[in-house]
Structure 1
Amino acid sequence: MLPKTQLNPPFNITRASHVSLTVTDLGASRDFYRDVIGLVVTEETADTVYFRGLEESVHHSLTLYKTDGAPLADQVGFRVQTDDDIDRAAAYFASIGIEHRRVDKPYQGPTLQFVDPVGTHIELTSSMDVVERKMQNYNEFKAGAPQRIDHFQIVTHDVQKATDFYHTLGYRLSEYTAKDNTDELWGTWMEVKGNTHDLVFTNGRGPRLHHFAYTVPDASALIHAADVAGAYGLGHEIDRGPGRHGISNALFLYVRDPDQHRIELFNTHYQFIDLETPPIRWDVSNPKRAQLWGMPASARWFFEASEFADQPVEEPLLAATPDTLEQYLQLH
């Protein structure tokens, strides 16, 4: 069932903002995101590395923490408009029984962490320290030259529950997948900033972080990122692409880091601003929804993702058997 957008949410979320991961080899992961992906290292300590995109004026959009345990997704971050929105978020979550806590995070203003109804670990902040934009420092563009963080995709056991919750917070449905001429939700693409998505939920074992995504300047940047990965001997870590999604119409490249966290580089989102524009429906049987050029993704793209700490993974309510690249090659 399609949810109704809340035009007067309890607090104001403005965009996808930042993500944090734990990694087993901080040096190797730093080198990957700096040299293979092309992010800017803002700051580095013995146990933490902060990155940002070339266009970004905030201190970080990706944080890596050294761990002696398993590599995990830590927090998925969104910006709210003002400090008052942090207070309003805390009051709202208390009123509906959502687990939450205020935390002090370096380089961030007031910050609130909560666990959403499907188990995703979410962090809200109202501000960050301001640093230099490098979007015209073309001499510093490396690999894919990521410009800014754009969105997150979460694998969840209950797409409907996740979608209903975020619509109460002001997210708006731009595209969705369903089956057999129904509106039973298998995947939802939701936005708050006016392009096709800030947050995606897809059906599967969850909660797990499927990927986080950065914009790149153009199609040639995707090709160059793939070339750089190959030159470093990491062609096998290209998880999918280059290709073009049917959903969102974006060109894409997915790459796995040394701990198998997945990052997407992409471009060419369209605007989704006017309220009278209906969401686009894709049937789950249509392979063009995920790959407009026709080739399916590998099994690991469908079934592997990063778990959250101390968060049980649940089996999906909807049983799916996606067509994979391996199956396609066997048939052809």
Structure 2
Amino acid sequence: MTHHDKTLTSSGFYVSQEAPIHADDPIPTPTAPAPDILRCAYMELVVTDLAASRVFYVDILGLHVTEEDDETIYLRSTEEFIHHNLVLRKGPIAAVAAFSYRVRSADDLDKAVAFYTELGCRVERREGGFTKGIGDSVRVTDPLGFPYEFFHATDHVERLSWRYDLHTPGELVRLDHFNQITPDVPRAVNFMQSLGFRVTEDIQDDEGVVYAAWMRRKPTVHDTAMTGGDGPRMHHVCFATHEKHNILAICDKLGALRRSDAIERGPGRHGVSNAFYLYLRDPDGHRVEVYTQDYYTGDPDNPVVTWDVHDNQRRDWWGNPVVPSWYTDGSLVLDLDGNPQPVVAREHSSEMAVTIGADGFSYTRADDERDALPEWKQGEAAPAAPAAPSEFKLGNQL
């Protein structure tokens, strides 16, 4: 991370104006214009046990069923007016079949075809859509290996915001974002910028290695993020609530149902995005985030926030540890024939490997302030790094 063009804030991160990100092996930018993407719209998940998934997403999380049959369930959150924002489809392998985006007009589907065809990507178009409730659609396997969909036409359904009789204490109100795992984050971000995405936040080190980046089309912190790791895989799909107490209600419900083992991480507050969060794992291991209270990013000069990878408050503002599975696990993604995409190993440093907080208690003081830590948190010096605090292990790591 170079600091000459970044301003250090009183909160401990840096801000700067967005610039095209450098990639060692960039994907060529097509001469064809990119489609005008409005927002992330829905994800199609393949699940191996449809009944168990229905219990998790409908009975526990409270998503609303638009339609269902023996093979597929179409779900939506409270504020959604399009047919669905999550599809659960029964299949032999748990995976992601589509990251779907709504575009501004039908003409943008022609642009999507031209844009990805110029890149040499496989492109399929169906006038009747790939799922119920969605019209003319384009699906592609993008240069990063992810299955993307673009559509404009959709069936409208009732927005249930006024149906308080249907709401639960942990009501999920909208689809907020996707998060994708990719081996080369700068290459991925550079490509997404050519598709019209804007960077809002990222994580870097002093050598300029980019560990993750958050990008948006709608005026929030992100519609998708690129997380460094073995990929292409899906890290998580995220639904928003109105308030923090909704997330706490979900935790209480899981505890009451003796389903607390579905909680992977949290609740807590992110440094990145400033959002309150909870990470869950569904019966197939797909990761679902529940999230609230990020910030507006819609102005053209919205500053990019850059976090130092060694700042243990970047992932959790309170300095709580990140469980290793959160860094290592992800869902497979499918090609357009329904086959799992091969996973390529990340060659750059792992974020988990460079962060003490990933393995135990976080240390949020500056180096020259560590003596001020209470003795119970200092521990004994780790053998490999006698000058550093020891790595307190979580229970499942002992």
Q: TM-score, normalised by structure 2?
A: 0.79
1:37 aligns with 2:52: no
1:178 maps to: 204
CA–CA distance in 2 between the matches of 1:204 and 1:177?
Answer: 14
Moved more, 320-329 or 230-239: 320-329
Aligned-partner residue type, residue 347 of structure 2: L
Are the aligned partners of 1:38 and 1:143 in contact in 2 as well (CA < 8 Å)? no
Whether the 8 Å CA contact 2:265–2:323 is kept in 1: the answer is yes
Residues 38-187 of structure 1: pairs in structure 2 closer than 5 A:
38-67=62-91, 69-103=92-126, 104-105=129-130, 106-180=132-206, 182-187=207-212
Where does residue 42 of structure 2 map in the other structure? 18
For residue 186 of structure 1, give the secondary structure of its aligned residue in structure 2.
strand
2:282 corresponds to which residue? 257
Q: Is the 8 A contact 1:110 1:127 kept in 2?
A: yes
Deviation at 1:10, TM superposition (A): 2.3
Equivalent-residue separation in structure 2 for 1:324 and 1:242 (angstroms): 20
User: 2:267 is matched with which residue: 238, 242, 245?
Assistant: 242
1:60-118 deviation digits (Å, cap 9, x = unpaired) = 00000111x22111111111111110011101211222221113322111111112222
Instruction: Give the drift of 1:324.
Output: 7.1
Aligned to 1:232: 257
Q: Deviations over 1:135-174 (max 9, x none)?
A: 1211211252101101000010111111011101110000
Structure 2 partner of 1:198: 223
Q: What is the identity, as a one-letter code, of the residue corresponding to 1:32?
A: F
> Aligned partners of 1:154, 1:63: CA distance in 2, in Å?
18
Residue 132 and residue 55 in structure 1: after superposition, are their counterparts in 2 closer, same or farther (change >3 A)?
same
Name which one, 1 or 2, has greater alpha-carbon Rg.
Answer: 2
- What residue number does 2:372 align with? none
Q: 2:360 aligns with which of 325, 328, 331?
A: 328
The 1:234–1:308 alpha-carbon spacing in structure 2 relative to 1, beyond 3 Å, is: same
2:213 aligned with 1:218: no
Q: 1:277 aligns with which of 269, 291, 302?
A: 302
1:21 shift after superposition:
0.8
Contact 2:170 2:246 in 1 (8 A): yes
Structure 2 residue runs of 5 or longer lacking an equivalent are: 2-17, 22-28, 335-339, 362-390, 394-398
Q: Which residue identity does 1:144 align to in structure 2?
A: G
1:4 alignment partner in structure 2 = 20
Supply the distance in 1 between the matched residues of 2:33 and 2:246 (Cα, whole angstroms).
Answer: 37
User: 1:304-327 deviations in whole A, cap 9, x for unaligned?
Assistant: 110113201000131215147773
The answer (yes or no) to whether the contact 2:229–2:346 under 8 Å persists in 1 is yes
On the 8 A contact 1:297/1:324 being kept in 2, the answer is no
> What are the superposed Cα offsets for residues 264-296 of structure 1, whole Å, 9 maximum, x if unpaired?
111111011122222011011111111001012
Give the match's secondary structure for 1:93.
helix
| Residues 238, 288 of structure 2: 8 Å contact kept | yes
Structure-2 change in CA distance of 1:189 and 1:172 (3 Å): same
> Match of 1:328, SS?
coil
SS in 1 for 2:360: helix
Identify if the C-alpha distance between structure 1 residues 325 and 23 changes in structure 2 by more than 3 Å, giving closer, same or farther: farther
Could you say if the C-alpha distance between residues 321 and 94 of structure 1 is closer, same or farther in structure 2, counting changes exceeding 3 Å? closer
Moved more, 297-306 or 138-147: 138-147
Q: Secondary structure at the match of 1:289?
A: coil
Cα separation, 2, equivalents of 1:285 and 1:58: 41
8 Å CA contact retained: 1:76, 1:121 = yes
Flag as ranges the 4+ runs of structure 1 deviating above 6 A.
none
Size of the aligned set, in residue pairs, is 329
Report if aligned partners of 1:9, 1:168 keep a CA contact under 8 Å in 2. no
1:316 alignment partner in structure 2? 346
Distance 1:321 1:213 in 2: 21
> Normalising to structure 1: TM-score of the pair?
0.94
Equivalent position amino acid for 1:272 in 2: T
Partner Cα separation in structure 2 for residue 271 and residue 94 of structure 1? 34
Contact 2:209 2:348 (C-alpha < 8 Å) held by counterparts: no
